[in-house]
Structure 1
């Protein structure tokens, strides 16, 4: 059976189990109090419990709907807009039990082939009151269980909403810190270049304008395509190549099937910046930056590899702001499902390999 079918059937089976236990419990009480057949009382209990629960549930939704129409949506009484409040439910529970008791007894008589005699019921008022009182106990208990579960669901919903709002605020803060960090570094490099080569500085400024324009557009959305992310990386690397010249070689590998995948904006740029600043710039001969995207099972794997001085040498350059920002963004957006790993590059070229692992969302599967 498909998982989504099981998830839909779980509430049904849960309620069926509660109904069965309630029915058996009422039948046992009736048979114990009146010294009657358990099987016979089980039939009556099944009919009474079923009718009472239908009436209680129907009244609960109807009363809650009427209160919503009247604009009564207190946080306590209408936690999930399915609860009208105890001041309405208590009287309705009593009415439901009375109606359900007589209707259930009548249906039970029909099922058992017993002829119904109103006169007998009138002469056994004491028995009837005891029976209705017994029926009230499970009704009140089940209604309280429903109320408690609704309250817990409402509390969890509010907590999830608050957590999501806090995560979104934290993400905006991280992005607002990250973009000036990259911009200040680029402007500092541009200032140095202006004094040495104005033509290259002009070209660098043109690339910077294009990069900032795309960055501003991306900052207004929570995500963009992987193709757009690679385009921004290309603009940034063009800026760095103007400054570093032949010392910087670039390789971008984005398979066409992955180009439409959604990723957070400015995700790869700090890793590329780290590769250049801490990996290639300290190396006199420079090196190569390789950015790739791959699909492994249900994950999207993005890598930034450089052939620079390696992790051991990078450790002496101090904390790397961009890497911490990437880790915090991944945790904020994906929790434990998103990760960033930094490790030595696997072949003889040396350098460092940064690996980002993201879960593939449902929208990317289409």
Structure 2
């Protein structure tokens, strides 16, 4: 309403200026009458539309209530505004109804044209903003649906890989297979009972990652060592669920497992030039020595797609060889304001 009132005041000043230039007379007098009529009409119509629009998203009543409201606003604004102007200048009451000199016709015509024009402008502005909000809502819903789809693709991918490892372990070390199955049961209970939120704190992502690494430790034993480094000031930073697990899974499957003595995985988060950077590095066989595997790029591609969906061009993932051997995957995306 305040924005509409300010626009109405500016428009009334323009009308007063135009009347002074074209018809002569006192600019201050035209301004008082114009502001009085415009302000009364604006208050009547703007308050009325909010009271009778109900739950309409555009906040404008439909036909015929909207047309009746505008018509009543013009009539009330014309009579009350002119009475205010007459009282301000000490003119005889209802002097504006005098037909002499076409004063009444001119004032009524200007009032009708100005009121209809301003109402159409405000209605178009409100409808445009409503349509823009609907477009943004549709885009947000599409983004949420895409993220949920990507997450539902990642969860079975991780589960199938874990079950395949469990099947191998059952034949060679049944006790460790039972321990791994217990870990898997606990991990799935925690994961499936969680909400399908589009984001969760980085601390929750690290906790889930720790559970997954513990699950893998049952199978790999001392061949798998890991370190998780999360600064306290980044614990509450929101990130998409299952963002880091594909990277860790990739490090284990293609980096540490082909290496007889295994190796170490380090996951660390840091703030860098307004961006959140998360680094997943391993001491495995490295990119060049990693054996080809069917579907090996699935997890990495999913991570890239999720970053692009949530953060656009500012969400990036890079994969490079570590100077000391192994592979380093780095994620960077904007920190929330």
- TM-score norm. by structure 2 comes to 0.86
Measure, in 2, the Cα distance between the counterparts of 1:298 and 1:360.
Answer: 6
The correspondence for 1:311, drawn from 279, 287, 297, is: 287
Deviations, residues 263-316 of structure 1 (Å, cap 9, x unaligned): 333221111001112222333443210012234465433221112233344595
Distance 1:314 1:132, change over 3 A: farther
Query: Does 2:36 align with 1:47?
Result: yes
Distance 1:253 1:139, change over 3 A: same
Deviations, residues 146-177 of structure 1 (Å, cap 9, x unaligned): 11122122222222222222222222221221
2:250 aligned residue = 274
2:326 aligned residue = 351
How big is the shift at 1:53?
1.5
How big is the shift at 1:332?
3.1
2:14 aligned residue = 25
Residue-pair matches, total:
336
Q: Quick check: 2:96–2:103 contact (8 Å CA) kept in 1?
A: no
Q: Quick check: 2:5–2:42 contact (8 Å CA) kept in 1?
A: no
Gaps of 5+ in 2: none
Q: Quick check: 2:9–2:38 contact (8 Å CA) kept in 1?
A: no
Measure, in 2, the Cα distance between the counterparts of 1:139 and 1:133.
Answer: 10
Q: Quick check: 1:218–1:265 contact (8 Å CA) kept in 2?
A: no
Q: Quick check: 1:79–1:150 contact (8 Å CA) kept in 2?
A: no
1:159 aligned residue = 135
**Secondary structure of residue in 1 paired with 2:267:** strand
Measure, in 2, the Cα distance between the counterparts of 1:343 and 1:260.
Answer: 28
**Secondary structure of residue in 2 paired with 1:283:** coil
Deviates more, 1:216-225 or 1:310-319: 310-319
Query: Does 2:324 align with 1:324?
Result: no
2:310 aligned residue = 333
Q: Quick check: 1:55–1:96 contact (8 Å CA) kept in 2?
A: yes
Measure, in 2, the Cα distance between the counterparts of 1:225 and 1:154.
Answer: 32
Q: Quick check: 2:315–2:334 contact (8 Å CA) kept in 1?
A: yes
Measure, in 2, the Cα distance between the counterparts of 1:134 and 1:99.
Answer: 14
How big is the shift at 1:86?
4.4
Measure, in 2, the Cα distance between the counterparts of 1:210 and 1:104.
Answer: 74
RMSD: 2.9
Q: Quick check: 2:230–2:269 contact (8 Å CA) kept in 1?
A: yes
How big is the shift at 1:339?
3.4
Gaps of 5+ in 1: 1-10
1:207 aligned residue = 183
**Secondary structure of residue in 1 paired with 2:265:** strand
Measure, in 2, the Cα distance between the counterparts of 1:136 and 1:89.
Answer: 15
Q: Quick check: 1:219–1:265 contact (8 Å CA) kept in 2?
A: no
Distance 1:328 1:218, change over 3 A: farther
Deviates more, 1:224-233 or 1:177-186: 224-233
Q: Quick check: 1:218–1:224 contact (8 Å CA) kept in 2?
A: no
Q: Quick check: 1:193–1:243 contact (8 Å CA) kept in 2?
A: yes
The correspondence for 1:89, drawn from 17, 41, 66, is: 66
The correspondence for 1:287, drawn from 235, 252, 263, is: 263
1:102 aligned residue = 79
1:182 aligned residue = 158
Q: Quick check: 1:226–1:260 contact (8 Å CA) kept in 2?
A: yes
Distance 1:14 1:60, change over 3 A: closer
